[in-house]
Amino acid sequence: MAYCLQCGHQAEHKIPEGDHNPRLVCPNCHYIHYENPKVICGAIVIHQDKVLLCRRAIEPRYGYWTLPAGFMEIGETMAEGAARETIEEAAAIAIKPNLYCLYDIPHIGQIYVLYLTELKDGEFDVGPESLECALFEEDEIPWDEIAFEAVKRTLKHYFKDRQTISDHGSFPIHQESIPKDKGIKRY
């Protein structure tokens, strides 16, 4: 970006007084543009011990499998965003959301928030951002075709937790940072 979002004057990248990061600063109106992390919200949707995955019909990672997830919108909660993304990508209703996994990915400025949910009535279809959608048992997961590290970690947590949680127990919340060396690509 080369111009001020407030007045349209040519802006410059510099460290504002009292700050420690380079920002886009307008020498005309003194507006400072701050770039903040983006929140990705999504769901691990379960039906009869199977996980709902969507094959991406959009970049990045076209053709790879993922959980229904995407950018949080202004005016919605994280859980609402996860539910909306599930409808958009899999024409499915995710119910009973419980916060499950949080991932900091600082080198690309993203935060992943994933909810553990159930699939209402076992019904799903293919949304406009997906090539196909399917329910997978653990041994059917296409591990080499998973689009994002956060999705792969969430699936691994779920299958491990499922083995140790009783029918009435609650799943733990997982919080991790994903380092740069994991080959992470922007959502």
Lowest mean pLDDT among 12-26, 158-172, 173-187: 173-187
- Side-chain-side CA neighbours of 53 within 13 Å: the count stands at 24
pLDDT band at 168 (very low <50, low <70, confident <90, very high): low
Q: According to CATH, what is the number of the domain 38-182? A: 3.90.79.10
- pLDDT, tens digit (0-9, with 9 covering 90-100), for 121-132: 999 999 999 999
- Amino acid in position 45: V
Q: Rounded CA gap, 187 and 168, in Å?
A: 35
- Side-chain-side CA neighbours of 102 within 13 Å: the count stands at 7
**pLDDT at res. 166:** 65
CATH of region 1-35, choose from 2.20.70.10, 1.20.1730.10, 3.40.640.10, 3.40.50.2020: 2.20.70.10
Cis peptide before 60 (omega within 30 of 0): yes
- pLDDT, tens digit (0-9, with 9 covering 90-100), for 68-106: 999 999 999 999 999 999 999 999 999 999 999 999 999
The verdict on pTM exceeding 0.75 is: yes
- Amino acid in position 170: S
pLDDT band at 184 (very low <50, low <70, confident <90, very high): low
Tell me 146's DSSP state. Answer: B
Return the domain boundaries, the chain.
1-35, 38-182
Q: Rounded CA gap, 94 and 118, in Å?
A: 6
**1-35 matches 38-182 in fold:** no
**Cα–chain-centroid distance for residue 120?**
21
CA–CA distance from 101 to each of 20, 33, 78 (Å)?
30, 30, 12
Q: For residue 23, how many other CB atoms are within 10 A of its CB?
A: 16
Q: For residue 5, how many other CB atoms are within 10 A of its CB?
A: 12
